[in-house]
Structure 1
Amino acid sequence: MTTKTNSNDLVGKASSSPLLSSPTRQRLVTKDGHCALRPPPAPPGLWPWASARAWLLTLHDLWGAVVGLRWRWVLLAFCASFLAHWLLFACLWYLLAHLNGDLAVQDHDAPPVGHVVCVKHITSFTAAFSFSLETQLTIGYGTMFPSGDCPSAIALLAVQMLLGLMLEAFITGAFVAKISRPQKRAGAIKFSPQAVVGQHQGQTCLMLRATNMLQRPLMNVKVSAVLYEECEGQALHQTSLDFQLDRLGHRPCPFFIFPLTFYHPLDRHSPLYPALCDGSSGHFELVVFLSASQEGTGDTCQKRTSYLRQEIHFDRRFLPATGLDTRGRYKVNTQHFDTAHSREPLAKDCVVQINGDGSDRME
């Protein structure tokens, strides 16, 4: 069975859809890939319990919470944690000196007979803080040092060193993990601000473009998407979509250093066909995911973006974004990538042929 459908009628249906007049909604995923969904506030009567539960969940994944913080908060946590550690043990050293009677000794170099000074020359809280700082940083005691005849001082010294090493390992590891995060590499991947619907090899396709802003290539690049549709007023229905590269099909691109255009055929089996061509769908948001591997480390990074109905343009295609300079070297035209579109009418007649294998093909 063969059905003829005029592509201009499809565009007219899409442009006259009530989606254009629908109220503005917040995105699920922002253009730069951050999740915009927020958890609902706790009821007033349950607020203390809900807040305590949220803190417990954060403590269960303390490492992920620290690595995910912004740099300003990581630096603040670094300074605050070490300062709190020094102050805590300064109080303990001062308390030990007070309980042992060292604060009342006038001359620590010549203490009374039978009195053992636990830490030499801790006569004030300032001296106790200085000793705590020197112990943690192992910068040398100078005139202040613990006595080997005071077991309490040796035990407290061991506890401070163990906890200090654990704190240093955690903070140093957080710094290294934050610097080497694959998400930082994904920040150099840029999507086209809009997607386009146009003809590609005889098919009506949804097209979007991505480029690598750095000269360091990425490997095994693959793009997928999830379509979030509003159903029955408030419910969100999600459907996965596949994108392919020209001549590579659904296979990953092994080398990503120049702009790539990804295609999704808009046949009747596509979840986007009712939303874009029939106009029978409600509000929708297309969230696109690009996954790639770094050449040096092999770590996988992911870049996300989203497209609303008003960010998908019909009868357009992307301008070529690569060319040659005067020396015959390849170059990327960033201006063409950003402006991205040039008018090109769709074919007047799009024939939707239902083949015997049950697949639709736009010809």
Structure 2
Amino acid sequence: MTNPSVEPKASCPLMSKTQPPRLVSKDGRSLMHNSGSPGSRHTCFSALRDMWGTWLALRWRWVVLAFCGSFLLHWLLFAVLWYLLARVNGDLDVPNHDSPPEGHVLCVKHVNGFTAAFSFALETQLTIGYGTMYPNADCPTAIALLALQMLLGLMLEAFITGAFVAKFSRPQKRCGGILFSPQAVVCEVKGQRCLMFRVCNLLPRPLVDVSVSAVLYQHHNDHELLQTAVEFSIDNLGPRPCPLFLSPLTFFHPLTQSSPLNNSQSHFEMVVFLSASQESTGSGYHMRTSYLPDEIQHGFCFSKIKSVHEKHCNKKETMHYFSTHPCPLTNTLDTLEKEHVVVQLNGEGSDFVE
């Protein structure tokens, strides 16, 4: 069978057609947008309705910028309120706050300008202690404004702190050391043709209860997106989770007559989902990737692993786990046609297209 990885794409008419956009990137990012949104206004309202999810989806640079901006705006807002209180109460007209006129009650001592009001708002929010500026207990308005600032400030600090903790603890952000093979392969295992991919764990600790699932996405002529489950297993464990994730693991899917890949169209996208947990804390790890038809090497197999105890410093040195070498397929097209198995991986494997 011809190897599609070395054959020019122009020789295959099915692959030369315009293909639908990718749904999931190789590093697991979702590239699919909601097609039901009529415009940017609807998107903005959706983001406001789900502020927590929108916040967690932001990049770190925007989170840090929002963190600094929210506190600055909070201090600025209450600096304006403290300044207005001092102006309405007549404190700005008092030349010496240490000896105010008889009968005049100062709301905040030594707040005689906007800069002083901003400094007082900063001291109140951060609770760094009052110096010469402090609120007067004989001014009820000042006490009420002080309580309002403290309540809103505590709510803001709780939201910011919770968002930072949530972003640090997101399962997909802890998976930087879990690598999928850039390409999948089709080779024979014990006389059975199989689709295989490999996963490597570079984390400093092993993972447990590793489970893998895959979904085959196919676009039809009426723009309908068909989803079909693809079962993968490792060695003799079958569909059961792998109890210990050392490095690496090779998952395979037999291309039998009942396999959804046998009758797939020329273009498809297979999205692979990996879930695992950390043994010491029970924290969840979730990672995903996808494979297009031109990312599947036909007639290749992964190189054997010499040792799982080798330690590598970076991802580049670990890529030799994903190296492949030619592995001729013994089953001919005639044998496959007699068994009525139509392999459509990468648009090849049969003389006709369903």
The TM-score, its normalising length taken from structure 1, stands at 0.84
Higher strand fraction: Structure 1 or Structure 2?
Answer: 1
Among 309, 328, 347, the residue aligned to 1:345: 328
1:33–1:311 Cα change, 3 Å: same
2:57 maps to 1:68:
yes
2:95 maps to 1:101:
no
Q: Give the Cα–Cα distance (whole angstroms) in 2 for the partners of residues 243 and 40 of structure 1.
A: 31
2:4 maps to 1:29:
no
1:17–1:159 Cα change, 3 Å: same
Q: CA deviation at 1:233?
A: 5.3
Runs of 5+ consecutive residues of structure 1 not aligned to the other structure: 1-7, 276-280, 355-363
Q: CA deviation at 1:132?
A: 0.3
Match of 1:113 in 2: 102
Aligned residues of 1:321 and 1:336 also touching (Cα < 8 A): no
2:314 maps to 1:319:
no
**What RMSD in Å do the two structures reach over aligned CA positions?**
2.4
Among 151, 159, 163, the residue aligned to 2:148: 159
Match of 1:221 in 2: 210
Q: Residue by residue, what CA displacement relative to the aligned partner does 1:42-85 show, whole Å, maximum 9, x if unpaired?
A: 66xxx5xx51x433322222222212211101100110000000
Which consecutive segments of 4 or more residues in structure 1 shift more than 6 A? 351-354
Aligned residues of 1:196 and 1:316 also touching (Cα < 8 A): yes
Among 207, 215, 224, the residue aligned to 1:235: 224
Paired residue secondary structure (1:215)? coil
1:23–1:132 Cα change, 3 Å: same
- AA aligned opposite 2:327: E
Q: Give the Cα–Cα distance (whole angstroms) in 2 for the partners of residues 203 and 138 of structure 1.
A: 70
Report how many residues are paired: 329
1:157–1:9 Cα change, 3 Å: closer
Q: CA deviation at 1:330?
A: 4.8
2:170 maps to 1:170:
no
Runs of 5+ consecutive residues of structure 2 not aligned to the other structure: 341-354
Q: Give the Cα–Cα distance (whole angstroms) in 2 for the partners of residues 62 and 116 of structure 1.
A: 43
Paired residue secondary structure (1:245)? coil
1:56–1:100 Cα change, 3 Å: same
Q: Give the Cα–Cα distance (whole angstroms) in 1 for the partners of residues 181 and 113 of structure 2.
A: 64
Higher RCO (CA 8 Å, separation ≥ 6 residues): 1
Aligned residues of 2:15 and 2:266 also touching (Cα < 8 A): no
Aligned residues of 1:19 and 1:309 also touching (Cα < 8 A): no
